C-alpha cells in the first residue's frame, strides 16, 4: 500500500510541474510597509493556499508582487499573531501601516470593509451567543442574521463610490458567505434535515465565480445541502467530486474546489461527517489517480501523505513524549500491548467533556497487563498541562506531553489536525483505527480485540 501511495505521489508531483494552474497571467502590484518598529518584517500570503507572495522589511520599505486580477491576501508580521486581510490589485500601490499598538491597516477602503466583515461576524455571534444557542425558534435565529446581513450590505453600499465593481462583488460575497457559513453550522447543531426550509438561504448564493477562492467552504456546504436534498445516501467520495464538477462550470474553479474538499476531509474530519464515514485511503488513492493533472494538488501533498501514514493497517509511528516528571517515553516501550491514545489539550472543551469517559475505560482495563491507555497532551503551554494534572491527573492512565503538539512529528504522522482524537494501536504495533469517534467506540473495539 505504501509503495503504491509513493508511486502515485511521484506521478502527481510530475503532473504538477507539467500542468500547474497556479501559474496564471499576472501583473505586479507595489506594497509599501510603514512600521514604527526599526526591525520589522511584513509577510504577504494568499488567503486560502497560504502561498507566500513576498516579504518586506521596514528597511526595504517596499516590494513588487505578482498578482492576478484581484488577490485576497493575509498580512502578518514577524513578531505578532495579528492578521489583517487585504485585496491586492494589479498595477496598484497598497500602503500597509503598523502602529505602536501593533495594529495593521492599509490605505484602501475595501480592505477596511473586508476586515470589518470578518471581525464583525465573530463579534456579532459572541454578542448574541446566549440567544442564538438557547432559542428553539429557528426562524428567529434566521431573521436575526438576515437583519445583520442587510446592515452590512448597506455599509458596503454607503462607500460603493470609492470601490470598483470587483471589490463590491467580492465584499458582498464575503458578507453573505460568512453569515451563511455560520447558519449552516447552527443548523447542524440543531440536527436539522437538509430539506428543512431553514437551509433555503444557500439557494441565494451566487453562481461560482473567482470569489469562490476567497471562502470556498461555503460552496462545499451548499453542495452538501443540495446533494442530500436529492439523495438519501452518499455511496462513495467520487460521487461527490463528480457532483462538484457538474455544478461548477469553470474547470479551474472546479479543480480548486475538489482539492479543498479533500483538504477538508483530511484536515478537518469533523466538518462533513457523512462524507468522513466513507473516506479512507482507497478514496484518496482513487482521487489521486484520476486527478493527476489538477494544478492544485500541492495544497494537500503533505496532508495526504500524513493521512495515508495514519490509517488502519499502517505501522504506528514510534513517537516520543515525557511525563510530568520529565521522564522520557517511547511508544515502543509498550510493545506487545494494545494501546489507546487519547489526544487532548487543556483548552479543548470537547476533550475535557470526554476525558472522564476515557478515565472510566482506563479503570476498566487497569488490571489487564496487555492494555494501556495514554492521555497525550498537545498543549502549547507545558506549564498549563502540569497545573491541570496537579488537580485532575488520571489514576489509571499514563499522562504524557508532546512538545510542539500538532506541529510535531507525532502530529504529522498521526495526522492530528483536530482534537479530541482517539487512536487504537494493536499489540503488534499496527494502527487498528485512527479516527475513533469517542471512548465508548474505543471500548467496543478493545473488547473485540481482546476477545480474538
Helix, coil or strand: residue 301: helix
d(C-alpha 236, C-alpha 223), whole Å: 15
Which residues does residue 398 pair with via DSSP β-bridges, in sequence order?
A: 374
Q: Residue holding cell 508580521?
A: 77
On whether the CB atoms of residues 4 and 285 are closer than 8 A, the answer is yes
pLDDT value at position 26?
Answer: 56
d(C-alpha 201, C-alpha 380), whole Å: 39
pLDDT value at position 23?
Answer: 37
Q: Compute φ and ψ for 333, nearest 5 degrees.
A: -65, -20
d(C-alpha 314, C-alpha 197), whole Å: 44
**DSSP state letter for 430:** B
Helix, coil or strand: residue 280: coil
On whether the CB atoms of residues 260 and 48 are closer than 8 A, the answer is yes
Sign (positive or negative) of CA dihedral 219, 224, 227, 228: negative
How many other CB atoms are found less than 10 A from the CB of residue 427? 16
**431 to each of 160, 202, 375, 418, how far by Cα in Å?**
56, 40, 17, 18
Could you give the dihedral angle defined by the CA atoms of residues 442, 443, 445 and 449, in that order, rounded to the nearest 10 degrees?
A: 130
Cis peptide leading into 420, omega within 30 of 0?
yes
First to last CA, the chain: 25
**Taking the chain (452 residues) in consecutive chunks of 10 residues, what is each chunk's mean pLDDT?**
40 37 60 89 90 90 85 91 91 91 92 96 95 93 97 97 95 97 94 95 94 96 97 97 97 96 92 92 93 93 89 92 94 95 95 95 95 95 94 93 92 92 95 92 94 83
Which residues does residue 431 pair with via DSSP β-bridges, in sequence order?
A: 425
Q: Residue holding cell 494502527?
A: 431
pLDDT value at position 24?
Answer: 45
- CATH number of the structural domain 23-107: 2.60.40.2890
d(C-alpha 321, C-alpha 330), whole Å: 6
Hey, what CATH topology would domain 320-451 get?
Answer: Glutaredoxin (3.40.30)
Q: Residue holding cell 501533498?
A: 301
d(C-alpha 292, C-alpha 287), whole Å: 8
pLDDT value at position 22?
Answer: 40
Edge-first strand listing for the sheet containing 80-88: 52-57, 41-46, 71-77, 80-88
On whether the CB atoms of residues 32 and 25 are closer than 8 A, the answer is no
**15 to each of 25, 49, 51, 155, 242, how far by Cα in Å?**
20, 19, 19, 45, 21
Which residues does residue 320 pair with via DSSP β-bridges, in sequence order?
A: 330
Compute CA 181 distance to the chain's CA centroid, rounded to the nearest angstrom: 14
Report pTM.
0.82
Domain positions in the chain: 23-107, 110-309, 320-451
d(C-alpha 50, C-alpha 187), whole Å: 29
**261 to each of 186, 287, 435, how far by Cα in Å?**
20, 11, 18
Helix, coil or strand: residue 39: coil
Amino acid at each position: 500500500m505504501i509503495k503504491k501511495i509513493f508511486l502515485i505521489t511521484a506521478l502527481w508531483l510530475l503532473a504538477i510541474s507539467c500542468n500547474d494552474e497556479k501559474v496564471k497571467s499576472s501583473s505586479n502590484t507595489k506594497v509599501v510597509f510603514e512600521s514604527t518598529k526599526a526591525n520589522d518584517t511584513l509577510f504577504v500570503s494568499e488567503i486560502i493556499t497560504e502561498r507566500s507572495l513576498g516579504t518586506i522589511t521596514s528597511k526595504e520599505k517596499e516590494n513588487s508582487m505578482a498578482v492576478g486580477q484581484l488577490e485576497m491576501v493575509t498580512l502578518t508580521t514577524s513578531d505578532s499573531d495579528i492578521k489583517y486581510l487585504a485585496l491586492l490589485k494589479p498595477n496598484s500601490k497598497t500602503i500597509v501601516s503598523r502602529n505602536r499598538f501593533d495594529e495593521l491597516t492599509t490605505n484602501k477602503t475595501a480592505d477596511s470593509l473586508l476586515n470589518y466583515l470578518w471581525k464583525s461576524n465573530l463579534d456579532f455571534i459572541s454578542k448574541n451567543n446566549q440567544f442564538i444557542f438557547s432559542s428553539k425558534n429557528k426562524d428567529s435565529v434566521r431573521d436575526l442574521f438576515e437583519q445583520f446581513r442587510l446592515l452590512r450590505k448597506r455599509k458596503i453600499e454607503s462607500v460603493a463610490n470609492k470601490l470598483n465593481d470587483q471589490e463590491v462583488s467580492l465584499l458582498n460575497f464575503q458578507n453573505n458567505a460568512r453569515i451563511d457559513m455560520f447558519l449552516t453550522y447552527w443548523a447542524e447543531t440543531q440536527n436539522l434535515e437538509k430539506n428543512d426550509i431553514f437551509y433555503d438561504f444557500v439557494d441565494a448564493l451566487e453562481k461560482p465565480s473567482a470569489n469562490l477562492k476567497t471562502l470556498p467552504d461555503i460552496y462545499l456546504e451548499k453542495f452538501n445541502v443540495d446533494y442530500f436534498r436529492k439523495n438519501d445516501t452518499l455511496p462513495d467520495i467520487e460521487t461527490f467530486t463528480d457532483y462538484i464538477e457538474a455544478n461548477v462550470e469553470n474547470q479551474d474553479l472546479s479543480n480548486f474546489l475538489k482539492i479543498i474538499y479533500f483538504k477538508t476531509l483530511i484536515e478537518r474530519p469533523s466538518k462533513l461527517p457523512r462524507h468522513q464515514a466513507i473516506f479512507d485511503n482507497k478514496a484518496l488513492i482513487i482521487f489521486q489517480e484520476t486527478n493527476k493533472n489538477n494544478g492544485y494538488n500541492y495544497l494537500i501533498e503533505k496532508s495526504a501523505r500524513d493521512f495515508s501514514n495514519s490509517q488502519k493497517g499502517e505501522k504506528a509511528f514510534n513517537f516520543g513524549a515525557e511525563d510530568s516528571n520529565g521522564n522520557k517515553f517511547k511508544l515502543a516501550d509498550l510493545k506487545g500491548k494494545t494501546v489507546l491514545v487519547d489526544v487532548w489539550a487543556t483548552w479543548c472543551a470537547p476533550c475535557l467533556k470526554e476525558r472522564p469517559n476515557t478515565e472510566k475505560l482506563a479503570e476498566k482495563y487497569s488490571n489487564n497487563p496487555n492494555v494501556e491507555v495514554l492521555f497525550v497532551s498537545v498543549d502549547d503551554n507545558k506549564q498549563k498541562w502540569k497545573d491541570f494534572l496537579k488537580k485532575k491527573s488520571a489514576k489509571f492512565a499514563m499522562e504524557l506531553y508532546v512538545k510542539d503538539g500538532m506541529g510535531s512529528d507525532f502530529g504529522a504522522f498521526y495526522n492530528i489536525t483536530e482534537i479530541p482524537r482517539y487512536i487504537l494501536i494493536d499489540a503488534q504495533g499496527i494502527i487498528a483505527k485512527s479516527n475513533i469517534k469517542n471512548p465508548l467506540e474505543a471500548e467496543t473495539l478493545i473488547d473485540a480485540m481482546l476477545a480474538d
